[in-house]
Amino acid sequence: MLILALLTLVLHGLLAGLFYAFSMSVMPGLNAVEPERAEAAMRSVNRKILNPWLFLVFLGSPVAALVAGLLADGAAAVWFLAAAGVGFAGSFLVTVAVNVPMNNALDAGTMPWKDYSRRWTAWNTLRAAASVVSLALVGVAIGAL
């Protein structure tokens, strides 16, 4: 159980860091260049980020927390399940419902950078916050083991 709990913690930490880094450095960096260059760079990022490492972290975080919650006892189970729920709603659902469609619109050329950047970053920051909350919940769950 401890190995699963630590894996869950690491996965959540990696995901929170990814979303945080985008909101606090990648997007401001792209906003500092011409919109056409920012769009081209973001299109490239959006294509390259779709790789097994992202899927492991992105899909693995809520699944690991769910499995840990189902295997744990008492308060630890509740905290792991809460982490899974927050991560699923705040990261997975937001990504599928908002960020990916915006990425697709940017890629198709139907959403200009000025409409994309602020809105995408706001939703990404929500994903970062949800991921940090999930990370903290996993930490509390580990403390309750």
One pLDDT digit (tens) per residue for the chain, 145 residues: 999 999 999 999 999 999 999 999 999 999 999 999 999 999 999 999 999 999 999 999 999 999 999 999 999 999 999 999 999 999 999 999 999 999 999 999 999 999 999 999 999 999 999 999 999 999 999 999 9
CA-CA distance, 77 to 80, in Å (whole number)?
5
pTM given for the model: 0.94
Domain ranges, ordered by start, for the chain: 2-144
Given a contact cutoff of 8 angstroms between Cβ atoms, the answer to whether 104 and 40 are in contact is no
Tell me the two tokens of residue 122.
Answer: 């706001």
Judged by phi (left if over 0) then psi (alpha if -120 to 50, else beta), residue 69 lies in: alpha
